[in-house]
Amino acid sequence: MLGSSSEERRRTDAEKALERSNAELDIRVHQRTRELNSAIADVRENELRFRTLIELAPFAIVVIDRAGHIRLASAAAYRMFGVDEGDLLERSVDDFLPEELGVKHIGDFDQDPEPRMLGLSRPLDAHRLDGTRIPVEIGLSPAYVDGQQMIVAFVSDISERRAAELLAAERAESLEQSNQELEQFAYVASHDLREPLRMISSYLGLLSRRYTGQLDDDADEFIHFAVDGAARMSGMIEDLLQYSRIGTQGGELHPTNSGEALSEVLRDLSMAIEEGEAQIEVGDMPWVMADSTQLRRLLSNLIGNALKYRGEAIPEISIHSEFKNSRWEFTISDNGIGIDPEFHDRIFRIFQRLHGRGEYSGSGLGLAVCRKIVERHGGQIWVESRPLGGSLFVFTLGEAQSQKEAAKEF
Amino acid sequence: MNLDSMDLLIIEDNPGDVVLAKEILSQVERPVSIRVAEDGETALSMLDEHLPNMVLLDLNLPRISGQDVLRAIRENPKSHAGPVIVFSTSDAERDVVAAYDGGANCYITKPVDLDRFFKVVRSIENFWLDVVRLPAS
Ligand SMILES: [Mg+2]
């Protein structure tokens, strides 16, 4: 029975092996089941996360198939379009979008299935089923859903932004209009005021010419003050006229060589420069977009001030430019008497003077003119104090679109 | 000195300007004869009667504008060569251009004070009476 006994052992061995393998299989099945369950849980969790993401997104999410039918939509989409879930699904995008961006557009998108934005460059209105419009921006992205190529649309309602933009534009327009009216008023007023003022000055002049020395000393002084006042008023009216003309009679902005403008200004000021023995230092000057007459006026006023408000020392004035934050920044620094920081804003207002008439002449309009010119050019102007005394005036201008173009034009 | 006399027609509606002009012209060294027209119609009929050797013309006049008076002066063969000096408050480019286009010999903005008025009159006098030769003379 040796054979049978060995047979027996072999069977027992086989049974044991089978048992073992069964147990291993069992363990593996268990393990797999656990893994599967965990995977399912993961998927559920992911789906839940995904759902939450979709439902909480500040924009509506709509999944569209290739025929332009809506296959999936987030709660925000129902709210935005004011429909029930059943009313939105299976509808065509043509029910909600302008024709050229609806089903027709899907073909375009297939040609070039890259994510893209609609409504950025041109305003885009979606419409509800009742015909009311919603200003929107739409992001489109290709996606695989249920094994099919589809398009996911992210739709943002931008009504509030559009309304704010509209309001801002309206405000800017009405501000522009009231500025123009004010300029017109300043122009007409100063123009018409010249006429009676001319009579006052001329006849005061006649009085003083004919009667000075013939009345008592008081009378001479009275006439003198009246003549002086009339002359000053006449100067102010002229200034006001010129100030109002910056806006009403300014030329268009062209590519302008600021270096050339500066040379001309320095030539015009050469007498004052020589008289004051001033030292002028000039850096590289760029091409900018400007009305050249006004640019010269701006430079002339600033450099003229630097010469006028000098201190004890020999005036040192430097003019430089630097390209900063995509604009040209010009600086004009001097070693003059400087300006108290307290007055840094005030000096740019019309008819503001910091000094008595006896100290420095001028009607206090120069810097107001500068500000108006710079603002008309879309730039900014300000003043800084220099640590060792003196002032640093800074103004910005836009760059000429292309230097080559500018060179061609002149 | 033998100076030509100054025979002037002032076309001006503002009495203040007229008195001022007379006052200043009274100090000119040569003999001066001044006549005044307060509006265009009067001016044209006065010109028809007598031709002065210079016209001082305000632009802003009642009824017929200075611009139209100028045109009438130039269209009349009798007066078309005589010097017309436009004397106006306006320094607007369009007024200046329109005046020269209409045949003005000179455009002067009314001086804002007496001293300048004197200077202006002196240069008018020197230029138009001593320098320029006109067909009439
Ligand atoms: Mg008048």
pLDDT at A120: 78
- Cα–Cα distance measured from residue A343 to residue A337, given in angstroms and rounded to the nearest whole number: 13
Interface probe with B: pick from A190, A193, A198, most Cβ of B within 10 Å: A198
Q: How close is the nearest chain A Cα to the Cα of B32, in Å?
A: 20
Confidence label for A3 from pLDDT (cuts 50, 70 and 90): low
CATH code for A252-410? 3.30.565.10
Q: A381 — phi, psi (to 5°)?
A: -135, 140
Q: Is the pLDDT of residue A146 over 80?
A: no
Rounded to the nearest angstrom, the distance between the alpha carbon of A234 and the centre of ligand 1 is 19
Tokens 């994510």 locate to A115
CATH code for A160-249? 1.10.287.130
CA-based nearest residue in chain B for residue A210:
B23
Most confident of A39-48, A162-171, A202-211, A252-261: A252-261
Contact B16 A234 (CB under 8 A): no
Q: A17 — phi, psi (to 5°)?
A: -60, -45
Pair B79, B85: CB distance under 8 Å: no
Q: Is the pLDDT of residue A303 over 90?
A: yes
* Level-2 CATH architecture, domain A59-157: 2-Layer Sandwich (3.30)
Q: How close is the nearest chain A Cα to the Cα of B2, in Å?
A: 28
CB of A188 less than 8 A from some CB of B:
no
pLDDT at A186: 77
Interface probe with B: pick from A187, A202, A245, A249, most Cβ of B within 10 Å: A202
CB of A203 less than 8 A from some CB of B:
yes
Share of chain A above pLDDT 70, in %: 94
Compute CA distances A79 → A6, A156, A158, whole Å.
80, 12, 14
pLDDT at A268: 93
Q: Which of A114-123, A150-159, B41-50, B81-90 has the lowest mean pLDDT?
A: A114-123
ipTM above 0.95, yes or no: no
Rounded to the nearest angstrom, the distance between the alpha carbon of B65 and the centre of ligand 1 is 9
Span A178-199, average pLDDT = 80
Selecting from A191, A195, A202 the residue whose C-beta is nearest the C-beta of B113 gives A202
Residue among A56, A58, A51 at smallest CA distance from A72: A51
pLDDT tens per residue, range B57-66: 999 898 889 9
Span A101-105, average pLDDT = 78
CB of A277 less than 8 A from some CB of B:
no
Name the DSSP class of A350. T
Rounded to the nearest angstrom, the distance between the alpha carbon of A180 and the centre of ligand 1 is 28
DSSP letters, A290-337, are E-HHHHHHHHHHHHHHHHHT--SSPPEEEEEEEEETTEEEEEEE--SS
Span A328-341, average pLDDT = 92
pLDDT at B1: 42
Q: Which of A90-94, A252-256, A372-376 has the lowest mean pLDDT?
A: A90-94
CB of A195 less than 8 A from some CB of B:
yes
What count of other Cβ atoms lies within 10 Å of the Cβ of residue A39?
11
Helix, strand and coil content of chain A, in percent to the nearest 5, comes to 55, 20, 25
Q: Is the pLDDT of residue A277 over 90?
A: yes
pLDDT at A404: 46
Residue A327 vs residue A48, higher pLDDT: A327
Contact A198 B114 (CB under 8 A): no
pLDDT tens per residue, range B23-35: 888 888 888 899 9
Contact B20 A202 (CB under 8 A): yes
Domains of chain B: 6-131 (3.40.50.2300)
Most confident of A138-147, A165-174, A176-185: A165-174
Q: Is the pLDDT of residue A93 over 60?
A: yes
